[in-house]
Amino acid sequence: MTGEPTIRVLVVDDDALVRASLEMMLDGAHGIAVVGQAADGDEVQAAVDAHFPDLVLMDLRMPRMDGIVATRRVRARPNPPEVVVLTTFDTDENVLHALRAGASGFLLKDTPPAQIVDAVRRVAAGDPILSPAITRRLMDRAATQADAHTVAQESLKRLSPREYDVMLAVAQGKANAQIATELYMSLATVKAHISHILTKLELGNRTQIALLAHDAGLA
């Protein structure tokens, strides 16, 4: 026993075999425990209330409520769990809608098990996960959307100069400690600035900060 906190995971998928496979895989990883399952998006809220997960592994295509709507509802809760989408559908629209809804990660179901485990650990630690290929596609898409560009630029005007600097660093994928060193701030100050940025811009996580920055043509 190392005293390391266990990452509590809720698995959401309409395929019972997929749920069982994911539970077996994740429960076999050190420091991770599957605390519950849900078979459809409309079951997620009750499952979160019952099991208090740190992270929800969310399917997209489900019969009654899809993973986008379920993610949005989960992330709107006070102190919400992180959400990682795990799906067979990687269209630009699906990825973009998942990120806008508040997901901190997007993985395909054919991702190797070790990478899924690593993604769960990283997202639980506050490090968003998105494959480079998907990121590039989304950035290219955002660059062609003039309306999104204008809206993003206007949104960023709400930030103070120091918050703007921190926002740029977050968009570049820098960790809090690196931001603190480069901007001559304490770690606590960096965390406070990020909290203020999320509040002012009405965003849910660092991934959405990066997406907004790219919409604005930055980073």
Report d(CA 100, CA 92) in Å as an integer: 12
Residue 65 pLDDT greater than 60, yes or no: yes
Whole-structure pTM value? 0.66
Which has the minimum average pLDDT: 12-21, 130-139, 176-185? 130-139
pLDDT in the model for residue 212: 85
For residues 110-129, give the mean pLDDT.
88
Among 7, 3, 88, residue whose Cα is nearest residue 52: 7
Q: Per-residue pLDDT tens for 140-153?
A: 665 555 566 777 88
Domains of the chain, first to last: 7-138 (3.40.50.2300), 146-215 (1.10.10.10)
pLDDT in the model for residue 1: 45
pLDDT in the model for residue 90: 65
Task: Name residue, tokens 């496979």.
Answer: 21
Q: Which residue has the higher pLDDT, 139 or 184?
A: 184
Residue 211 pLDDT greater than 70, yes or no: yes
